Chains A and B, each alone.
Chain A
């Protein structure tokens, strides 16, 4: 009987296009969309070359030190900071600024650089910092040489700025703003296992479907029937999830860390939770089929939102302001488990998440079993 029920349920599930679209094709499309939409986010923090303008007046022509300093930062290479454009007059530079061709322009007047910008921002702050540093250094050199002309050889020390701090990573992998979207997406797909769980239960209960009535009237015992059925649902759903993970890792190149088996374990437990969730909705509520499906989608989307699927960082905000809600959100726990695997070398929080997911799954299956134990109905 196992092969009959298990095998045919797998076949049926693999031929059910609506379920496959929700649990496989739709997530692949979303993952691809995330990839193209957010791939620039991680690079957004890197500095880009800042376009600046220089007014070509007499002082600029004579100030070789300034030209040298600016030239070193405008030279092609990895350290290039400025893209400097020479303008014959302040008016021309002003027009370029107005047209947003440059972020600011520098005019040398009275032996000091003056900066003109049209707004505030990171680039403007960087130009200002460069000019301040240049002015301070120039002033220091001029003062030293005026008082002690023999100290020329030690002036170079002024430019040797030694850093006394060291940059280290708090996490085992570099931080990424985009990776959480993929984790939340996987959490959503785990919860979409609910479709499989709902279908399994609805096909078993005589008061939920004609198929359920027909199966209830057969001499096959209910417990093996439901276990084999749910097992087949689980296998199909994990298969869909694994294909999605493979796509995200191998095709999109998203890193899930080195704990592959734990990723699979998380997917497995997440799927089981999704199936338990769908089984619970199907067994406990008395709504019509389409209302139940709508309920599953709505709850899944709310949970996925809380896990950070739509708004980056919302999961952290909820965890900080409403921690209980965050702990009770299965999608947030699943996404956080992936997060722990990627970032932390200590897995205690990961296992805590898994424990919570297991407890939720057990509770939902227990309640479902309580409702499924009925063998005669008041009405059909």
Chain B
């Protein structure tokens, strides 16, 4: 569906995309994950031929992408990061306007607009001007304007920024439904939870480069960090903490606020070993829970910094 080879984009001396490669397969939800400024939006704008680039090849639908490739453009839907709707047009008029740029015939367009309104949950608000809508509803309108014409490929650039949790869930469910309807989706975000929940494959980006690509499982398997263990314990002598730290399957252990946190190696038996050690030292403990490694752990281990830094 999308192929990007060795894409280089510079803003003066700043390299925004550094030999960036990407392949998105038909029917998948592909996540571009990276901190702000990592080059996600720049990559999308280059793919859509909105930005000039210095080097590289981009093809969409097996055709080179250019500003005048109207056939390809017709099959693409875009939901930009910033809300792009007319403030003076109602919800219905906005969706109808943007759908009309793809589907000129009004008779064909009308059911598509109605479907998009239904899909975005904006039925009650069809005559509302955007200024009367809440932040979440405006975001949904922004999405409806981008998908009403039933595109085969949809670019969603951080569609949930500044959206309340309820609307966010509704948006994510909608994206899954679009994918289930046959659309291929490229989804950018700096919220790892969303990408984990939604995407079939993920590319982690930083400083215009791809750090790693794969399914969530493939990505987490790439790093040394396994599960994260947390034990509620009233008091932990430093001697015992040092013993825990010296366990073979424990990478790092900290104690604070009556909680022992330990990062464990992949495939080890750290939980059993830690609990045995606590029992041997007659230390009573409360809740125990463990979390699998997150994409943030992947990012942290590869780049040495947090995703949201």
Contact residues of A with B, CB < 8 Å? 1, 3-5, 8, 11-13, 15-16, 203, 206, 209-211, 213-221, 375-380
Contact = CB atoms under 8 A, between A and B. Distances in A.
Contacts of B68: 375
A218 B97 CA distance: 11
A380 B97 contact: no
A218 B50 contact: no
A218 B68 CA distance: 10
B224 interface: no
22 contacts: A1-B100, A1-B101, A4-B101, A4-B104, A11-B88, A13-B88, A203-B86, A210-B80, A211-B85, A213-B84, A214-B84, A214-B145, A216-B50, A217-B76, A219-B70, A219-B71, A375-B49, A375-B67, A375-B68, A377-B51, A379-B11, A379-B51
Interface in B91-148: 93, 96-98, 100-102, 104, 106, 129, 145-146
Given A12-B89, A214-B78, A378-B52, A220 B101 contact: yes
A376 B89 contact: no
B77 to A, nearest CB: 9
Contacts of A375: 49, 67-68
B45 interface: yes
A211 B101 CA distance: 13
B74 A219 contact: yes
B243 interface: no
Contacts, number: 87
Interface in B166-202: none
Contacts of A211: 84-86
A342 to B, nearest CB: 37
Interface in B65-83: 67-68, 70-71, 73-74, 76, 78, 80-83
Contact of B88 (A16, A221, A379): A16
Given A12-B89, A217-B78, A380-B50, A209 B84 contact: yes
Nearest to B99: A4
B86 A380 contact: no
Contacts of B129: 15
A168 to B, nearest CB: 55
B48 interface: yes
A218 B82 contact: no
